[in-house]
Structures are given as structure tokens and as C-alpha cells.
Amino acid sequence: MITHGNEIKLFSGNSNRSLAEAIAKKLNTELGEIEVGTFSDGEINVHIAETVRGRDVFIIQSTSSPVNDNLMELLIMIDAAKRASAGRITAVMPYFGYARQDRKARSRDPITAKLVANLLTNAGADRVLTMDLHADQIQGFFDIPVDNLLGGPTLYSYFAKQEIDVVGAPDVGAVKRSRKVAEKFGVPLAIIDKRRPKANVMEVMSIIGDVKGKRCLMIDDMVDTAGTLCQGAQAIKDAGATEVYAGCTHAILSGPALERLEKSAINKFVTLDTIYLPEEKRLDKFEVLTVADIFAAAIENVYLDKPMSKLYD
């Protein structure tokens, strides 16, 4: 618990204020006064309404949809704090947008994750706190410290009560993560072998592993349109699984995601609150777990210059 709040300042953008308020409450402090709005032409307008001179400033903002607006809010808030002589500025990004563009998949493609890293650094961020980056190598895109916190333990604690029999990897790219989950629960791993004929179209080919008569858990770092997850869940169900649970750190849920999840074979879908999910989007089968404790602990460690290693144990 932070008791000398006169030296620390927490600010929030508009992307996930409920999480920011929960983090501040865990730290026994309040969010700083800041105005984040727009001019009549849509340009973002930021005004910090209290002193930050020499203070340890933490700006909490997920770069989720609308991605570009939330990213610009974050950059401008960082710039405002820097120009107001903040002592140290940490960008707290529970969800790091543009993380999927981490390499050149085709000729003449951008590496936008690196561009965002450059923008954050050039704006004046001294450190970044995030969670479950889509690609671990993004940490190397920065010339400032990046703490990539783990959302898995929160999900594991929830699913430990569900008597999971097998963990399913929704695609080959998720095998490494799914294998760790399977080892955590001491259960076998099943892999959904699929073919993607074109973007956002997935065809399930076969399931490697035995799921018949078993409760299956599928874990991924993010769920966007939910096509891969829902088709994978149906394939597992068709192969004889009795129940299918799914969990993720970042519920992007764009396009047809909600409709797909509602009609899917998934019995329970669990996500963390790194991205704000309004009540009208929370289906009956949804469960939202908070990461306020983890980020509060990380912020306290950064503020007090304590090691972060315990958060990864």
C-alpha cells in the first residue's frame, strides 16, 4: 500500500477508466485531475489540472478500440506530463494495441509495433507496464524498460475450480502457451490442426489428442473476431468433449465476435479487464476477472524501486 501519495500521480485516459480507478483504490490513492477531450475538429485536447513537477507519474491507458484515438490520448498525456517537468513517466498499458504487427509477414509490410514503441519513447515515456504482449520480442523494440506482466495466473486460479481434463490449443501458434497451461493443471494437451485459406477464414482439419468425454479448456492471449476460438470449440465438442471452457487476457471482441460466442459450443468464456467491456456486451456465459491487483503491485514496485521478479513467480 502506498502511503506517501504526495509523490506519486496516477492519471487515466478514456479507454478503461474503471480499471484505473480500481488500481488507484488498491494503492490507497486517487486518480489525478486531468481533462482528456477533443476540440471541435476532433483533435485530442489534454490538460493536467494539478502539479506533476518532480513526481512519479503513471498514465493508465489501454490502446484498444478506438485504437488510434486511445493511442493518441496516451502519447499526448505523456507529452503533457513531460513538459510539466514530471520526474519519471510510466505508460501503463494493460492492452498494447498494434502488437500483432510485429514482423514483416509480406513484402513491403510495416512493423507497426516497433513504430508504436518509438512513438511512446519519443513522447517521453521512461518505462512501459503492459500485460501478455502478443509477441514477447516486442520488449526488444524499446530502448526503455518494459515489464510484460502475466495474466495467466489469474485465469488459472479461476479454472482450477472447474476440474479440467484436457487443454486444447486453438491453433499451432498457441501450442507453447497451451502446453504451459496443461502442465500447470497436470492434464494432457490437444491441438486443433487447422488451415486458414484466407484472412479471417478458418477451416478446422483435425484434432491431435483425445478429448472424448472430457472437460476441455482453451486459453489464448487475445480474442478478436472469435472465429478461431469458436470453430475450435465446435470441433472439440464434435469430437466428444462434454464441456468446453475458454479464457483470454484481452477480449477485443470486434465484428461478429459477440454473436459467435453466444451461439458457440463454449460453456463459459472468461476474460480479464485489460480492455473495458461494457455491461451490454457481457453475455450470460461471460466472466470478467480484474487485473487491478497485479498492476497495483507492479506500480508500487516501480515507484519504490523494488524488484519485479516476485510478480512473475
CATH of 5-150+292-312, one of 3.40.50.2020, 3.20.20.80, 3.20.10.10, 3.40.50.300: 3.40.50.2020
Give me the mean pLDDT over the 3-32 stretch: 90
Rounded to the nearest integer, the mean pLDDT of the chain is: 92
Residue 5 has pLDDT above 50, yes or no: no
pLDDT for residue 171? 78
SS (H, E, C) the chain: CCCCHHHEEEEECCCCHHHHHHHHHHCCCCECCEEEEECCCCCEEEEECCCCECCEEEEECCCCCCHHHHHHHHHHHHHHHHHCCECEEEEEECCCCCCCCCCCCCCCCCCHHHHHHHHHHHHCCCEEEEECCCCHHHHHHCCCCEEEECCHHHHHHHHCCCCCCEEEECCHHHHHHHHHHHHHHCCCEEEEEEEEEECCEEEEEEEECCCCCCEEEEEEEEECCCHHHHHHHHHHHHCCCCEEEEEEEEECCCCCHHHHHHHCCCCEEEEECCCCCCHHHCCCCEEEECCHHHHHHHHHHHHCCCCCHHHHC
pLDDT for residue 197? 62
Instruction: Write down the CATH number for the domain with range 153-289.
Output: 3.40.50.2020
Give me the mean pLDDT over the 63-71 stretch: 97
pLDDT for residue 4? 44
Structure confidence by residue, pLDDT tens digits, 249-292: 999 999 999 999 999 999 999 999 999 999 999 999 999 999 99
Structure confidence by residue, pLDDT tens digits, 34-62: 999 999 999 999 999 999 999 999 999 99
Structure confidence by residue, pLDDT tens digits, 193-213: 876 666 656 565 688 999 999
pLDDT for residue 195? 66
pTM over 0.95: no
9, 194, 214, 237: the catalytic one is 194
Residue 2 has pLDDT above 80, yes or no: no
Structure confidence by residue, pLDDT tens digits, 116-148: 999 999 999 999 999 999 988 999 999 999 999
Q: Is 194 a catalytic residue?
A: yes
CATH 3.40.50.2020 in the chain: give the residue spans. 5-150+292-312, 153-289
Rounded Cα gap, residues 288 and 291, in angstroms = 10
